[in-house]
């Protein structure tokens, strides 16, 4: 075993360069993987907001992604079936059948504006979340939609009887 000191020209250059490339490669792969994860997360976190009459018509309001659909709960359409709640939502004379997993509870009822979150599958909107219009935050953000929804709700209520 040779224990004599090395001179400047005999440094361990090739081994150090190899370690640098391994470290750089690892960092690049980690950044790419992180970018893919963040991109997938952000694209899946965006739910398009659509009215019932825009489903299947407006770009982003189709069945290949998760969306939020706003409409009025149609009178005499609410029924509970095997732990699910089924009802029809209407908006601008268009209607869509909604199946919600569970009981919406709270102030959910016929002839009120609601927003259902979910996916359109085979012509039925399968929802896993229902929002009922009742907060000032909803009113501030959606004044135009709310005015239209309230007109629809008045029409629905006046058809009772």
pLDDT digits (tens, 9 = 90+) for 98-109: 999 888 877 888
Identify the domain boundary among 6, 23, 45: 45
The mean pLDDT of 7-19, rounded to a whole number, is 60
Q: Is residue 129 part of a domain?
A: yes
For residue 53, the 8-state DSSP code is G
- The predicted model gives 121-138 an average pLDDT of 78
Residue 1 lies in a domain: no
Please check whether residue 96 is in contact with residue 125, taking contact to mean a CB–CB distance below 8 angstroms.
Answer: yes
Longest distance between any two alpha carbons in the chain, whole Å: 105
Q: Which long-range contacts (CB under 8 A, 24 or more apart) does 157-161 make?
A: 157/75, 157/111, 159/75, 160/75, 160/111
Return the pLDDT at 46.
65
Same domain, 37 and 113: no
User: Which domain range does residue 125 map to?
Assistant: 48-158
Mean pLDDT across 6-26: 69
Same domain, 56 and 35: no
* Number of domains forming the structure of the chain: 2
Residue 77 lies in a domain: yes
CATH number, domain of 151, equals: 2.40.50.140
CA 47 to chain CA centroid, Å, is: 3
pTM > 0.85: yes or no:
no
Give the per-residue pLDDT at 157. Answer: 65
């Amino acid at each position: 075993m040779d224990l004599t000191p090395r001179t400047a020209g005999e440094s361990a250059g090739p081994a150090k360069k190899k370690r640098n490339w391994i470290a750089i490669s690892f960092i690049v792969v980690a950044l790419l993987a992180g970018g893919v994860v963040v991109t997938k997360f952000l694209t899946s976190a965006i739910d398009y907001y659509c009215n019932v009459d825009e489903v299947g018509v407006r770009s982003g309001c189709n069945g290949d992604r998760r969306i939020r659909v706003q409409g009025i709960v149609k009178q005499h359409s609410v029924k509970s079936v095997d732990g699910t709640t089924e009802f029809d939502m209407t908006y601008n004379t268009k209607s869509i059948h909604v199946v919600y997993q569970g009981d919406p509870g709270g102030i959910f009822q016929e002839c009120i504006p609601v927003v259902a979150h979910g996916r359109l599958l085979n012509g039925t909107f399968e929802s896993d979340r229902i929002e009922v219009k009742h907060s000032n935050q909803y009113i501030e953000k959606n004044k135009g939609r709310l005015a239209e929804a309230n007109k629809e709700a008045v029409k629905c209520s006046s058809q009772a009887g």
